[in-house]
Amino acid sequence: MKRTGINRRDFVKIVSTAGAGLVLGFYLPPQSKGLFAEPQPASFVPNVWLRIDPSGTVTITVAKSEMGQGPHTYFPMIVAEELEADWQAIKVEQAPTHPDRYGSQSTGGSTGVRTSWEKLRLAGATAREMLISAAAAKWGVNRTTCYAEKGKIFHKPTGKALAFGELAVAAAKLPVPEKPPLKSPGNFKIVGTWVPQLTTPDRSSGRAIFAGDLKVPGMLYATLARCPVFGGKAASFAAAKAEAVPGVKKVVAIDRGIAVLADSTWAALKGREALEVKWDEGPAATLSSASLHRLFAERAKQQGAVGQKEGDCEKAFAESFNKIDALYEMPFISHSPLEPMNCLADVKAGSCEIWVGSQNPQAAQTSAANILKIPKEKVTVHLTLLGGGFGRRLVNDFVEEAVKISQAAGAPVKLFWTREDDMQHDLYRPASQHVLSGAVDKSGKLLAWKHRVVAPSITGQREPGRIIGGLDKSALNCAIDMPYAIPHLLVDYVMANTAVPIGAWRSVYASQNVFVVESFLDELAALAKKDPVAFRLEMLDKTPRMKKLVETVAEKSGWRQKLPPGHGRGVACSFCFGSYAAEIAEVSLEKGRLRVHKIDVAVDCGLAVAPNTLEAQVEGAVALALTAVLKGEITFAKGRTEQGNFDAYPILTIEEMPKVAVHIVNSHEPLGGIGEPPLPPVAPAVANALFAVTGQRVRKLPIIFP
Amino acid sequence: MALINLTVNGQKKSLDVHPETPLLWVLRDTLALTGTKYGCGVGACGACTVHLDGQAVRSCVTPIASCAGKSVTTIEGLPLDHPLQEAWTEVDVPQCGYCQPGMIMSAAALLKQKKQVTDGDINAGLSGNLCRCGTYNRVRKAIHLAARKGGGR
């Protein structure tokens, strides 16, 4: 495996903890909430990933956001593996937010394991080697006669042992080894095994703390009235009726709207209901789903910026044996994590303290510093557990609101978003239109492929300067560089930016493009009268990892075996975020409704470091993707989002959850991600299975049965 | 404001709150019992599920006035050695965890009614508890396991 550059300050140094023990800032019992730890004095935090106390407790610092994908378990697994720690002695703490001490603390792009793996292994190995040296010195023996196991250093010839805790102070005084040996993967005892999550007991008992659960002295509960039209502003407001609501303490204006502050959440909500605001709705007031559809359709006729070109498409289409055209459409959809956005902010003179569940606490720190015009070091961001993220919490608009409200009110405030606030002020997954043409030759092989993607650009909306020549390559993720060998290919992109705020939604553009690509491939397989699995396998010689996964999932799912009458199977696969996934769905129509019975998922992310959370991530990807396939969409009228709650925008229920069978293939190639890669193939596998049942193609999501 | 008397997790409480205030906000803001979560405010997601005189209710749409003289049990009132808690840990159910207290309270009410549960019973009892992370299959497995452990207490 390739070694990434690790500089010296990433190396662990073990600290003896006389008087310096960091108060565990995360798993506080409810009655002591709010007592988050202060960062340790600098002399006691020399870039630590782990700390060993004289008591023997091994505390591991987690510098990624825990939103259910497992860093509070896989960080410790990786460190403990190399350290040879006793798993029972492991504790975790969330890293304080720091501009650079831990590298990027952003959690997105399925990067958690793959960007932490090398440095966490080194951190554990370094500590292990120092403990061995400390024990050898104490015993006056050659260090090569000593080894680490289950929280102790043993002297092989005599069998005598010292616990890590007994060696902590001595080890801290030793030089840090430059290149500690790493364990051979064949000797892993924790990595690759099914380890229960360390967070589960708290999460199963109401003790897990989310930002919305916290309270600080003098805190007010805040709600914010925002213009319902995208980009609109308050023209004027009258606070009297809101202020008359019992419990309401203050009404303050910020750029994003008018905040009502009260002594309870309920009073703040009632106060907002009573508040009178006149909105300046701005230019987006006429925006509607119909107007967006027309815009996309118009843009689809334009020439796009070329993302990938192979061979000679025009010639191939002219000479092809059989061809087909199709238009695919994808809707806007929301993130809707179960915990709506919220943030507790306490702005004081020259400093600020924030408690938040964010996927990007460093950006929150930067934003707050910019708003308050104070140095970043004066902004303390306490990262709590996140009640779901899915990309929504990568953007800290709600943190900025809380900071501004606290500043305006001169008090600590806990900003609360209702479900309606959350659904109507989301950063939606962009809608898109796709114009495709495909051609097969006489032998039924895919000869030529044209794909025009028409979609708003997330980068184009947030950082337009980064788009050069109209090409946003990220919007073409999985539409270009497909795993298949296709002799003649042209993929282009037409940007169609709108006033609708958009953002990354688990797997981002892959979740749309893979649906389109894998559905259209299925259309071409049918055109070529070929089995959909065989049709794909023929084109996968240049991507053996994908080929193996397709073969694996076909075998495990019983692709070639008979199904009960009325049932059908569909296949789809993708490569994104460093990992391969191939999936087969089994569906039927039950009383006129699409029923997804089972999804077989084969994944190859190099090495399944934490198979328990990996399987959970696959199940989660299936659930999130199926909601996008089977349920609602976000629509707009008069510049507003039409849906506000789960009645109008339903999400998958327990009854609708299919069986999920996960088939892990460890290729031992460089690590890839797992949070996002299993998601994109779900929708096309289901749609292709539905075709197998009904003979009807699905070219538009969601699939709504009347 | 009005004085409302009720029992929460076995303790008698006398609370001076607006009678329309949903039980959810009394639990969270007044009593600091934050295990019960807000997810939708309209009784559509189940994150706020608690027991009112033994019945599972959505506390976000239950006015505190309607709880007067009654007994409320929240996730904090469920014993840590409850078969559901043990099953949840054994199956390692939660992902983000936000919906889990509501899930467990719905499951506890279900297991009180039925000692033996079928998949259909679980669908009926938990169809109003939404999970965006996709823990449903583990939830189902854990409820079956808890039922086998005698979860109906």
Q: Count of CB atoms within 10 A of residue A201's CB?
A: 17
Give the A:B interface size as CB pairs under 8 Å: 189
What percent of chain A shows pLDDT beyond 70?
93
Nearest CA in chain A to B90: A196
Lowest mean pLDDT among A164-178, A248-262, A582-596: A164-178
Residue A388 has φ and ψ, to the nearest 5°, of 90, 150
Q: Residue A178: what pLDDT?
A: 85
Please give the single-letter amino acid code of residue A289.
S
Phi/psi of residue A521, nearest 5 degrees:
-60, -40
DSSP labels for A78-130?
A: HHHHHHT--GGGEEEEEPPP-SSTTS-----TT-HHHHHHHHHHHHHHHHHHH
Cβ pair A337:B80 closer than 8 A: no
- pLDDT of A29 strictly over 70: no
CB A654 within 8 A of CB A626: no
Q: Spell out which residues of chain B touch residue A416, defining contact as CB-CB under 8 Å.
A: 38
DSSP string across A648-690? TS----GGGPPEEEEEE----SSP---SSTTSTTHHHHHHHHH
**Cβ–Cβ of B34/A30 closer than 8 Å?**
yes
Q: Best interface-test mutation with B: which of A69, A266, A660 has the largest number of B CBs within 10 A?
A: A266
* CB contacts, 8 Å: A264 with chain B: 21, 25, 29-30
Question: What fold, for A211-282+341-416?
Answer: Aldehyde Oxidoreductase; domain 4 (3.30.365)
Q: Does domain A289-332+428-694 have CATH number 3.40.50.800?
A: no
For all residues of chain A together, what is the average pLDDT?
Answer: 92
pLDDT digits over B22-39, tens only?
999 999 999 999 999 999
Interface of B with A in 121-150 (CB under 8 A): 122-123, 126-127, 129-140
**H/E element, A569:** strand A567-576
CB contacts, 8 Å: B137 with chain A: 619, 657, 659-660
Q: What is the mean pLDDT of residues B93-121?
A: 97
| B21 contacts A212? CB cut-off 8 A | no
**In B, which residues are within 8 Å of A207 by CB distance?**
35
Tokens of B150: 């005698």
At residue A35, does pLDDT exceed 90?
Answer: no
Average pLDDT over residues A231-239: 97
Report the pLDDT value the prediction gives residue A26, as an integer from 0 to 100.
26
CA distance B93 to chain A (A): 7
What does the pLDDT look like over B32-60, one tens digit per residue? 999 999 999 999 999 999 999 999 999 99
pLDDT at residue A28, rounded to an integer: 28
What confidence tier does A5 reach under pLDDT thresholds 50, 70, 90? Answer: very low
Residue from the list B35, B88, B97 with its beta carbon closest to the beta carbon of A68: B97
A202 interface with B at CB cutoff 8 Å: yes
User: Which residues in chain B touch residue A266, judged by CB atoms under 8 angstroms apart?
Assistant: 18, 21-22, 25, 29
Work out the pLDDT band at A6, boundaries 50, 70, 90.
Answer: very low
On chain A, the residues whose CB falls within 8 A of the CB of B1 are 246
- Classify residue A430 by its DSSP letter: P
Determine the residue among B81, B96, B145 to mutate to test chain A binding: the one whose Cβ has the most chain A Cβ atoms within 10 Å.
Answer: B96
Interchain contact B93–A (C-beta under 8 A): yes
| pTM of structure | 0.93
Give exposure, A442-456, as e/b (b: 16+ Cβ within 10 Å): eebbbbbbbbbbbbb
**A644-648 — which CB contacts under 8 Å span 24+ positions?**
A644/A419, A644/A420, A644/A423, A644/A424, A645/A419, A645/A420, A645/A423, A645/B40, A645/B41, A645/B42, A645/B44, A646/A336, A646/A419, A646/B40, A646/B42, A646/B44, A646/B45, A646/B130, A647/B42, A647/B44
Q: Report CB contact under 8 Å: B132, A623.
A: yes
CA dihedral A255, A261, A264, A269 (to 10 degrees): -60
Across the interface, which of B25, B93, B135 has its CB nearest the CB of A264? B25
- For residues B25 and B43, the answer to whether their CB atoms sit within 8 Å is no
Q: Is the C-alpha dihedral spanning A664, A668, A673, A679 positive or negative?
A: negative
Confidence grade of residue A48 (pLDDT, cut at 50, 70, 90): low
Sheet containing A579-590: which strands, arranged edge to edge?
A567-576, A579-590, A593-604, A659-664
Q: Which residue of B has its CA nearest to A220?
A: B29
- Helices then strands, each counted (H, E), chain A: 17, 26
CATH for A8-197, among 3.10.50.40, 3.30.365.10, 3.40.1710.10, 1.10.3720.10?
3.30.365.10
Q: Within an 8 Å CB–CB cutoff, is residue B74 touching chain A?
A: yes
For residue A592, the model assigns a pLDDT of: 85
Q: How many CB atoms sit inside 10 A of residue A295's CB?
A: 17
Contacts of B91 in chain A (CB under 8 A): none
Residue A285 has pLDDT above 50, yes or no: yes
Other CB atoms closer than 10 Å to residue A209's CB: what's the count?
25
Alpha helices, DSSP H only, in A528-569? 532-537, 544-557
Residues of chain B positioned with their CB less than 8 A from the CB of A615? none
- Reported as a pLDDT band with limits 50, 70 and 90, residue A86 is very high
- Considering only CB atoms, B130 lies closest to which of A206, A221, A653, namely A653
pLDDT digits (tens, 9 = 90+) for A635-693: 999 999 999 999 999 999 999 999 999 999 999 999 999 999 999 999 999 999 999 99
Flag whether pLDDT at A24 surpasses 70: no
pLDDT band with cut points at 50, 70 and 90 for residue A19: very low
Opening angle at CA A418, ends A414 and A419, nearest 5? 140
A210 to chain B, closest Cα gap in Å = 8
Decide if A338 and B1 are in contact by the 8 Å CB cutoff: no
- Name the residue with tokens 């990007």: A360
Q: What is the pLDDT of residues A428-485, one digit of tens each?
A: 999 999 999 999 999 999 999 999 999 999 999 999 999 999 999 999 999 999 999 9
Residue B59 to chain A, least CA–CA distance (Å)? 13
The reply to whether A8-197 and A211-282+341-416 are identical in fold is: yes
Instruction: List the strands of the sheet with A413-416, edge to edge.
Output: A248-254, A257-262, A220-225, A413-416, A342-348, A351-356, A379-383
For chain B, domains (ranges, CATH) are 2-75 (3.10.20.30), 83-148 (1.10.150.120)
> Within 10 Å of residue A60's Cβ, how many Cβ atoms?
26
Of A387, A620, A652, the CB nearest to B98: A387
A340 touches chain B (CB under 8 A): yes
Q: Minimal Cα distance from B140: which residue of A?
A: A654
Q: In the prediction, which pLDDT does A321 show? A: 87
Share of chain A above pLDDT 90, in %: 88
* pLDDT recorded at residue A488: 98
B21 interface with A at CB cutoff 8 Å: yes
pLDDT score of A94 more than 80? yes
Contacts of A188 (CB under 8 A, 6+ apart): A81
Summarize pLDDT for A354-368 with one digit per residue, the tens: 999 999 999 999 999
Q: Is the pLDDT of residue B89 over 50?
A: yes
Model confidence band, residue B153 (pLDDT cutoffs 50, 70, 90): low
Chain B's closest residue to A628, CA to CA, is: B132
- How many other β-carbons are positioned within 10 Å of the β-carbon of residue A311? 15
Q: State residue A706's pLDDT score.
A: 58
The pLDDT value recorded for residue A591 is 86
Query: Is B133 close to A655, i.e. CB distance below 8 A?
Result: no
Say whether B145 sits in a helix, a strand or coil: helix
Rounded average pLDDT over A503-511? 97
Give me the residue spans of the domains in chain A: 8-197, 211-282+341-416, 289-332+428-694
Residue A266, H or E segment:
helix A265-274
Contact (CB<8Å) B28/A213: yes
